[in-house]
Chain A
Amino acid sequence: MIGLLVSLLTGRTIDQGCGKEYGKLSKEYVENVAVCEMNSKDMEKLNIRDGDKVKVTTEFGSVTVTAKKSRRIRSPGIIFIPYGPWANLILTSDTHSTGMPLLKGVQAEVEPTDETVLSLEDLLTQCYGKEKSG
């Protein structure tokens, strides 16, 4: 299966905001933040349904999140992931000397996957844990 090339946006959602207040280790936070909102046409192209897992890859890394059909993304070719540790795995720290990394409009590739979405604890151990213990 060849992945779909898209433009990745990140941002705030009301669910992310509330999930954050429930606590970052809560189930709500993972459910609301480790998602990828997509246009239904893009989902058809990838042959996936609401709730399936997708792997989003950019030149900086890849992450597995849950696909979510969104009528708010009206044009195909755009995906949206709320701010959070999951989105950050695939974003760059380069700020072009402004102090601000590029968080919206990043080229990305989406493909279906069988991998599961990492919990926050697992994500931290897997991605940053080694440096800490070593």
Chain B
Amino acid sequence: MRDNRIEAVKRACALSAAKFENYSNHRNTSPLVREKGKLVKTSLQEAIERSAEILADSSYPVLYGWSSTSCEATKVGLELAEEIGGVIDNTSTICHGPSILAVQDVGLPGSTLGQIRHRADLVIYWASNPWSAHPRHMERYTALSEGRFQRSIWRRLLLAFHAESIRKRILRAASVAFKRRAPTSPLKETTAQPGTLPVEQRKTIVVDVRRTRSADVADYFLQVEPGKDYEVLQALRALVHEEELDIGEVGGVPAETLEEIADTMVDCRFGVLFFGVGLTMSRGKLRNVDAAIRLVRDLNMRTKFIIMPMRGHFNVTGADTVFTWQTGYPYAVDFSQGYPRYNPGETSVVDILQRGDSDAALVVASDPVSNFPRGATRNLVKNPLVVIDPHLSATALMADVVIPSAFVGIEAEGTTYRMDHVPLPLKKIVEPPEGCLPDEEILRRILQEVRRLRKPHASSLL
């Protein structure tokens, strides 16, 4: 830290370091409004008034985002949604939304990450790639962490890499000696078979449709054909129930391998299954997650097993939590009737946009233009669009009003939730640029302005 600037970042993952070191690049610090097709600078007060007008005039606005801001801001957002009778949705809708639907159907045996760090002796990452999406997850909570009852696999990994490089060297020497072309060493299939590992050591299994970087670290990598997770999960359930499989392979995985995996699962003392959006975004969606949770439930008849979604965005878990304690529902909440209504598929933002039902939108700390499919994006940018975001994102470029805000956790304090629902209060470490308020404050002002605009209308009804 020097002169209100971050000079260097220590002990952070690549994503975090990139965030802290670059947060001030491509930064827009003045509010913008669209006039004659161009975004022009304006005052904060005017931008807030203009946003309030857009929202107060609309009959079915969409309020979307929330996962990259604090719980406090989300709370104000919900108040605003109720006031204007809009639909409020967070990024779960295109992330772990189906997981939530499955959890509502069959429940979720969970724990905190600390439990996993200290006790888990079998860690499965299913259709998630922590190496890329949660770079410190393995290091802090699972395979590479040193728990009270479980050792880190660092030593074993280093030995394996060492052995591999020696093997390559011998191969190269041999090929020179025999004047043959050096055999291209294919990626190792597995570093070890499950079951052949010493019992007391922590094991990691990665299940995915492509060989991700996470798979390289794992003891065992299981490649499933795209869209076949459901079949593989159900086959494992059958095996855990000691049923026989009468076919040779399921979803590209040989039956023997599945049997081994099922044995490893049953034999562990504390297993955990982390699943990623690979299950929720491919065919079957919530049914895939449903099958995964049922598998874990079945395993709990024989051993201790828990399951946890690998939640992505910064504070998406917090957004869900705040939505739930305020309205009773975790996402896709519709206030158009005056009371909260929840029906994903109907009141979820992508469906509303796809149908072209909404007539305005407020986007907070999110970039749907980059993340929604084309049809939904087209209807989002067609209508008046207000964006509150510290970044000048693709959505901001298409907006009618852009209000820059302070970064939560860097320039503003706030509460956020970790993926295991542990709340983490974040500190403010630098002063935001002049004129940039926290999201919470901006939303509060818009809400105030909306209430002022709607007041005469409300009194005329009486």
Chain B residues 269-302 with CB under 8 Å of chain A are 277-278, 280-283, 285-286
Chain A residues, Cβ within 8 Å of B427: none
Contact B25 A26 (CB under 8 A): yes
Contact A60 B373 (CB under 8 A): yes
Q: Please, how many angstroms separate the alpha-carbon atoms of A11 and B37 in the complex? A: 33
Chain B residues, Cβ within 8 Å of A103: 94, 277, 281-282
Closest to A97 in B: B345
Chain A residues 80-94 with CB under 8 Å of chain B are 80, 83-85, 88-94
Contact A93 B346 (CB under 8 A): no
Chain B residues, Cβ within 8 Å of A128: 369, 377-378, 381, 398
Contact B373 A91 (CB under 8 A): yes
When the two chains form the complex, which single residue of A80, A83, A100, A124 contacts B210, counting CB atoms closer than 8 Å?
A80
Decide yes or no: A9 and B209 within 8 Å by CB, A21-B22, A60-B373, A74-B223 being known contacts.
yes
30 contacts between A and B (CB under 8 A): A9-B210, A13-B132, A17-B132, A21-B18, A22-B26, A23-B22, A73-B210, A74-B223, A78-B210, A83-B370, A84-B370, A88-B370, A88-B373, A93-B353, A93-B372, A93-B373, A93-B374, A93-B376, A95-B348, A98-B97, A99-B98, A99-B349, A103-B94, A104-B226, A104-B282, A105-B283, A124-B394, A128-B398, A131-B382, A132-B381
Chain B residues, Cβ within 8 Å of A80: 210
Closest to B397 in A: A124
When the two chains form the complex, which single residue of A13, A21, A26, A127 contacts B374, counting CB atoms closer than 8 Å?
A127
Chain B residues, Cβ within 8 Å of A90: 374
Q: Is the interface of A mostly helix, strand, loop or mixed?
A: loop
Interface size class on chain A is 35 or more
Interface residues of B (CB under 8 A from A): 14-15, 18-19, 22-23, 25-27, 37, 93-94, 97-98, 101, 129, 131-133, 135, 187, 209-213, 223, 226-227, 277-278, 280-283, 285-286, 312, 331-332, 344-346, 348-351, 353-354, 367, 369-378, 381-382, 391-394, 397-398
Q: Please, how many angstroms separate the alpha-carbon atoms of A127 and B375 in the complex? A: 10
Interface residues of A (CB under 8 A from B): 7, 9-14, 17-18, 21-26, 60-61, 71-75, 78, 80, 83-85, 88-105, 120-121, 124, 127-128, 131-133
Closest to B286 in A: A98
Chain B residues, Cβ within 8 Å of A12: 129, 132-133, 312
Closest to B27 in A: A23
Contact A105 B227 (CB under 8 A): yes
Contact A17 B14 (CB under 8 A): yes
Contact B129 A21 (CB under 8 A): no
Q: A92-B373, A133-B37 are in contact. List 13 more A-B contacts (CB 8 A).
A: A22-B26, A25-B26, A74-B187, A88-B372, A95-B351, A98-B97, A99-B93, A99-B94, A99-B349, A103-B94, A103-B277, A127-B377, A128-B398
